[in-house]
Structure formats: C-alpha cells, structure tokens
C-alpha cells in the first residue's frame, strides 16, 4: 500500500510519516519512506538515518531531466507522453546509493533544492509522479510518501501513484481550508482521504471538528512535549509516548476499515 501524507507547512507531516513508518516496521512490514518535498531538509533526521543520494541525481540530475521535459514539450507527442521509467519498479530495483536504512525503515529522496537560482522544482514532481505510478509492491511492503506543503503535489499528479491520502491538520484556519480543498481534489481522483488532527487539546479538537466531516477524521495526536522537543532538535521521532502510539494504531485501523 502507498499512503501519501499532505498538509500545510508545519502541520506535522514529517512527524506523522516517521511515526507511521516506525509502527509499520515493528509490525513486520518492509517500509519505504519516499521524500517528495524538495524543501524538507530534516526528514532523514526524524527517521534516524543519513540523507541518501537523491534519485534525481542518480538519473542524471535536474538539468538533464529539465532538458528532456523541455524537448518533450516542443515535440508532437508532448510532455504527457514522456516516460522516465521504461519498466515497472520493485523496491529491490532502487539503486542502493539512493536508500538510507534504519532497521526495518528505509528512506528514498526524490530531489532537493540545493542552490539559489537553480530553477523550478518541476523535474522533482515529474520524477515523483512517474516513480510512484511505476512502483509495484508486495503484500508485506508499505510506502509512505511525505509531500511538500500545500496542494501543489495534486497539481503535479503525484497522488496518481498513491492508494490513500492522509492530511495532517494543525490548529489553524488555513489547515481547515486546505483540508476541504484537498478532499475535493482527492474525490476527483477517486482516492480515499482521511484527516489527522495534530497538536490538539480537547477544546481545540471540538472547535476543529465543527468544520470537518466526522467520518474523515481517523486520529488526533495530542500536544506531546517529547515529539515537540525531538522535532525542534532534529532527533529521531518515535512513538514511545503512551499518548501517541494508541493514536497511530487508531489511524492505521481507520485506513484498514475503509
């Protein structure tokens, strides 16, 4: 199964990604986290690994891919017919240099913005979309996709390679607005979508639920000092807190039951 994590900046996407990866790994799954956020520089720290070689660099680099995209746009076939992968991929087909591993959890990074003025992030989105659509999983394999903030990944079509979408909401008006828009987009793709409320108290939860469909909310992560401290320090995120792990179990149960 391929689960895509989305939300506004700072909502807790990477935290939820790390917690889910840890749980699925302990449950006996082979877990691959795919980092499609070109601006996220800290996800590898949350997973307890070093940053691997970007997949895009392994494929020739950003400028080469951008050149292929520009050429395809000028051709009669158009960019929609440009294929970067000529066959289906399995997890074992991924180049070892592009994988960082911590026990049962592995990390793959699509690409990052490294220099000022290097151009748009379109090639990263193009690689992410095609890679995820071509990636075929076995029954005991899980892929968790951490996306960039906002909704651009919907426009890039990255969701086309996912089986379900989890949107993380923090206590903000913008999160609720994004959730409603993202739900419409997911519905247009016939993708199941769920909401996870993060950094909430009982009072905040009650207020947020007034503006969201109750059947879409499958978990609430309370304000947790251990998670906040680990996130601030760039340390490995774990669900060791008694207030967090039951929530992760409920989230996974909510996905399974739908």
Q: What is the phi/psi pair of residue 208, to 5°?
A: -70, -35
Distance of CA 104 to the CA centre of its chain: 18
pTM of the model: 0.91
Of residues 82 and 33, more confidently modeled: 33
CATH number given to 2-256 = 3.40.50.300
pLDDT at 72: 64
Beta strand residue intervals within 96-183, DSSP E: 99-102, 105-109, 141-146, 164-169
pLDDT at 119: 64
| Least confident segment among 26-30, 49-53, 60-64, 239-243 | 239-243
Of residues 26 and 115, more confidently modeled: 26
pLDDT at 40: 84
């Amino acid at each position: 199964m391929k689960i895509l994590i989305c939300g506004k900046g700072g909502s807790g996407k990477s935290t939820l990604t790390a917690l889910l990866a840890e749980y699925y790994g302990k449950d006996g799954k082979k877990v691959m986290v795919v980092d499609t956020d070109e601006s996220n520089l800290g996800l590898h720290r949350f997973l307890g690994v070093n940053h691997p070689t970007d997949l895009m660099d392994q494929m020739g680099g950003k400028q080469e891919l951008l050149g292929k995209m520009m050429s395809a746009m000028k051709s009669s076939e158009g960019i929609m017919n440009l294929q970067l992968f000529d066959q289906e991929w399995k997890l074992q087909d991924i180049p070892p240099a592009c994988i960082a591993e911590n026990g049962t959890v592995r990390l793959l990074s699509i690409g990052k913005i490294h220099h000022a003025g290097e151009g748009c992030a379109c090639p990263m989105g193009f690689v992410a979309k095609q890679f995820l659509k071509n990636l075929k999983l076995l029954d005991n394999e899980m892929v968790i996709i951490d996306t960039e903030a906002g909704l651009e990944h919907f426009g890039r079509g990255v969701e086309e390679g996912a089986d379900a979408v989890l949107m993380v909401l923090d206590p903000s008006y913008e999160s609720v607005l994004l959730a409603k828009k993202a739900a419409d987009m997911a519905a247009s793709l016939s993708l199941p979508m769920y909401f996870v409320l993060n950094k909430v108290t009982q009072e905040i939860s009650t207020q947020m639920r007034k503006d969201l469909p109750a059947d879409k909310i499958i978990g609430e992560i309370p304000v947790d000092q251990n998670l906040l401290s680990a996130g601030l320090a760039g340390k490995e995120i774990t669900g060791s807190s008694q207030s967090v792990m039951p929530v992760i179990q409920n989230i996974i149960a909510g996905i399974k039951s739908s």
